[in-house]
Structure 1
């Protein structure tokens, strides 16, 4: 009866109990260089150029640069390699996946009224994958800081009543885990897992007990952490653009954003400490995230001279609505005893929350050498500290927003690209540098990337292929409480991209 009477209160508080944090906010605020092979070959430095479907998703004025209607379709293969260091352990993992990451078309309507300054009008629709979440890595080492996963459960349990983190007589783990989640929320569920798996020991068996100790003794702990994620951020763009006289192009994009993200993590820990009653722990978590959002872009391209062009783009914030589901599992073992398994087999479904990512401003320069080639440069600025969970009036979200503003900062992105044409062939290359979004510059480091590409023009059809690579160092904190030690990760992503484009 006690838990039933608190059910309504639990439902009201659950949206803010799961614990969205900076990592979640940053994950959906960052974009990658995706899109057509030509776009990627120039490392995305297309803000003053246009004339490419992925360039339209960067600068909406770019669709009016097309001289005729155009369409493209892109396939890409991602190879990802992660080198990790965790205390004395070094590991390397890699994976590969093949995907469709771009498709779209532009319809160009030429104004045949020669007395009008408006030369062309274009309409476009396109899909671009803006980020690929397919990733996995493995970290293993001996934790010499005397930090065990028991600290995670202890930090959640300390101060909570025993009858709010334990099962009643005759209650299954599934029933208790579900009731505790509905009545008290995420924190109590974590304490429940620690208590029922015998990691935590109450000071007394009284229902009102709020003091706990650990059944793991001091010493070193051998820890293995597995991370595997899949999914993507996608953007569907609806574009309209105009050409005014011979030198000015103006456009607008209305964007629909998609999130699909699944993550599995596992911590496996063993110890041989003489005072430990628990020698082996297996703790697994899954997260499934879906979301949708909206943003808009305003852009312009101006030809200062027949060769020299400038571009300017404003990207609005993206306003997301996000849904999340989680599952958990834990088992513990003492010596050769049979393991204690707490497998609730319950999917926690959390109410939706809102996230506002920061806006971005991009300035671009390009110099076109007639029919022979071009060079281009893009500079972007985004203030990651402006990322916000909403509603901002909620106390938990307000605290997370304060952490975001304290730890994240403005970051610049520099992109350079060049293209040289010889007969039907086009030779391309690019370089990009992205500053860390963190003030410390270490939690997520700077990114360096380069690209090389080749294109062949058949007339109305063009085939492009590109190889690009980007590298970044980061530090990953294993848990948000207790076991907060970090794994150092060097991530290197390599892509081979092929695009078929044609004039309609």
Structure 2
């Protein structure tokens, strides 16, 4: 069936899922991704360089290369999610979901111009880099189920109170699509939710004969409810980088990045509820929501590396905030079933297209130290800091994000990241290992826990080529709220485990 397209103007919508803290964080954080060598050391490359993905941390790393170099990386990731259902009364329903995906997550090249006199002062080497790095893998899947005393009817009742009955009642000859579109254009996303709930008989007006009625009750009787929540997301975030670096006076390296970012995120959620409660006119509810997000942004980085001695290197870098421009589309479908009256389905063939908004992510500061043991091996440490309370949303279309920005300021804080890595060589062979710790950006780390990870890897060099492989493992706990910011506050506690095999082929030229 041909779909109608709806463009909504000025919005103030707490239930547009991409415009909440959780999703603002998704576009503000970067995972440890990139080449196998980089991942094998858990990304601790801020004072080292000499790897294309090291430019993510410190752009001065390009000038450490002795010759032009290119690489391409392929990763296979497995995701395990252990979910425990929670409704603030019960804590029940354990389930495990496993999924996997394959991505080309890095490619690029560094071109070295090394024709300066190495004995002279000033610039000894110039580097020019063009790279692509995946910065986040948005693929995820979970299924959570359990029994609750809270019904999804509270989601629709909360929005309905104060809404006139005649606003959400179809006129003679008016279709579901037409009224859903009209409400989106004139009243916004919240009014659409009230219409869906009323049209499927979840909620009913206290006075059906009064078109100005503004109070509603539920057709779902209280009691116990069997509930399931399914979540699946796909997509990646990434950036293309133009890098310029230089070696100065033999012992200093300087670099600068211009980054072009992109966001691709698609999510579908399905919530199912069933009851056999006495007096309940609605016995089943299935609510499906789809969200599609795309965005583009830009940022800049600057950094330096100093050879303090043959054994010691220090690095420092700064990444500016990223200014993302984001667009979103949603579709919805609501289905109910009554043991007495049968099935009701509302499936608006309408895509809600929301106005573009701007997301400014935090700046990042990194300090690094590396100890080199001649050509035998090295140990490296990076420390990074981001103030997530500085995340800001804004719009050129008059959207008011003041409440959300205030929530971000209240609930988020500055967070630290520590990465430790080591590499040891024997002839053409290298072995690597690393550990990473990322502090939760939430003041209440029950919402999102600290992230811990470790990695191992190996590499082999032959003639002009180098082949590297790495395995890394990351775990983190989070709360997955089914309908954020609503009075229906059921959620799942999810323990997420990701392990990745990464393969990189590099070549000197």
Q: Which residue does 1:4 correspond to in 2?
A: none
CA distance, structure 1, for counterparts of residue 407 and residue 78 of structure 2? 33
- Using a 3 Å threshold, how does the CA distance of structure 1 residues 278 and 211 change in structure 2: closer, same or farther? same
Which of 108, 112, 132 is equivalent to 1:104?
108
Does the residue aligned with 1:140 lie in a helix, a strand or coil? strand
Which of 261, 285, 292 is equivalent to 2:289?
285
Q: Which residue does 1:141 correspond to in 2?
A: 146
Q: Which residue does 1:118 correspond to in 2?
A: 123
Q: Which residue does 1:425 correspond to in 2?
A: 429
CA distance, structure 1, for counterparts of residue 476 and residue 182 of structure 2? 43
1:54-453 matches, within 5 Å, as 54-86=53-85, 87-113=91-117, 114-143=119-148, 146-205=149-208, 206-335=210-339, 337-391=341-395, 396-453=400-457
CA distance, structure 1, for counterparts of residue 359 and residue 462 of structure 2? 45
Residue pair 1:61, 1:252 contacting (<8 A) in 2 also: yes
CA distance, structure 2, for counterparts of residue 303 and residue 166 of structure 1? 73
CA distance, structure 2, for counterparts of residue 313 and residue 459 of structure 1? 33
- Using a 3 Å threshold, how does the CA distance of structure 1 residues 307 and 30 change in structure 2: closer, same or farther? same
Residue pair 1:149, 1:482 contacting (<8 A) in 2 also: no
Residue pair 2:355, 2:397 contacting (<8 A) in 1 also: no
Does the residue aligned with 2:506 lie in a helix, a strand or coil? strand
Segment drifting more, 480-489 vs 398-407: 480-489
Residue pair 1:297, 1:315 contacting (<8 A) in 2 also: yes
- Using a 3 Å threshold, how does the CA distance of structure 1 residues 115 and 420 change in structure 2: closer, same or farther? closer
- Using a 3 Å threshold, how does the CA distance of structure 1 residues 149 and 17 change in structure 2: closer, same or farther? closer
1:34-45 matches, within 5 Å, as 34-45=33-44
- For residue 395 of structure 1, report the CA deviation from its aligned partner: 7.2
TM-superposition CA deviations, 1:292-326 (whole Å, max 9, x none):
00000010000100110010010100000000000
Structure 1 stretches of 4+ moved >3 Å: 14-19, 113-116, 391-396
Residue pair 2:460, 2:467 contacting (<8 A) in 1 also: yes
- For residue 392 of structure 1, report the CA deviation from its aligned partner: 9.8
Does the residue aligned with 1:246 lie in a helix, a strand or coil? coil
CA distance, structure 2, for counterparts of residue 343 and residue 473 of structure 1? 35
CA distance, structure 2, for counterparts of residue 303 and residue 257 of structure 1? 32
Residue pair 1:15, 1:350 contacting (<8 A) in 2 also: no
CA distance, structure 1, for counterparts of residue 399 and residue 173 of structure 2? 37
- For residue 115 of structure 1, report the CA deviation from its aligned partner: 3.7
CA distance, structure 2, for counterparts of residue 168 and residue 328 of structure 1? 22
Which of 8, 11, 14 is equivalent to 2:11?
14
- For residue 168 of structure 1, report the CA deviation from its aligned partner: 1.6
CA distance, structure 1, for counterparts of residue 167 and residue 24 of structure 2? 31
- For residue 482 of structure 1, report the CA deviation from its aligned partner: 2.5
Structure 1: unaligned runs, 5 residues or longer: 1-7
Residue pair 1:153, 1:482 contacting (<8 A) in 2 also: no
Does the residue aligned with 1:317 lie in a helix, a strand or coil? coil
Matched length = 494
Q: Which residue does 2:3 correspond to in 1?
A: none
- Using a 3 Å threshold, how does the CA distance of structure 1 residues 275 and 338 change in structure 2: closer, same or farther? closer
- Using a 3 Å threshold, how does the CA distance of structure 1 residues 392 and 11 change in structure 2: closer, same or farther? closer
User: Which TM-score applies when normalising by structure 1?
Assistant: 0.96
Residue pair 1:17, 1:186 contacting (<8 A) in 2 also: no
User: Which TM-score applies when normalising by structure 2?
Assistant: 0.95
- Using a 3 Å threshold, how does the CA distance of structure 1 residues 128 and 233 change in structure 2: closer, same or farther? same
- For residue 246 of structure 1, report the CA deviation from its aligned partner: 1.2
CA distance, structure 2, for counterparts of residue 251 and residue 278 of structure 1? 63
Residue pair 2:13, 2:188 contacting (<8 A) in 1 also: no
Structure 2: unaligned runs, 5 residues or longer: 1-5, 86-90
TM-superposition CA deviations, 1:406-459 (whole Å, max 9, x none):
001111001000011011110100000111110011101001100000100113
Segment drifting more, 170-179 vs 374-383: 170-179
Residue pair 2:9, 2:354 contacting (<8 A) in 1 also: no
Q: Which residue does 2:481 correspond to in 1?
A: 477
CA distance, structure 2, for counterparts of residue 377 and residue 393 of structure 1? 44
CA distance, structure 2, for counterparts of residue 200 and residue 172 of structure 1? 19
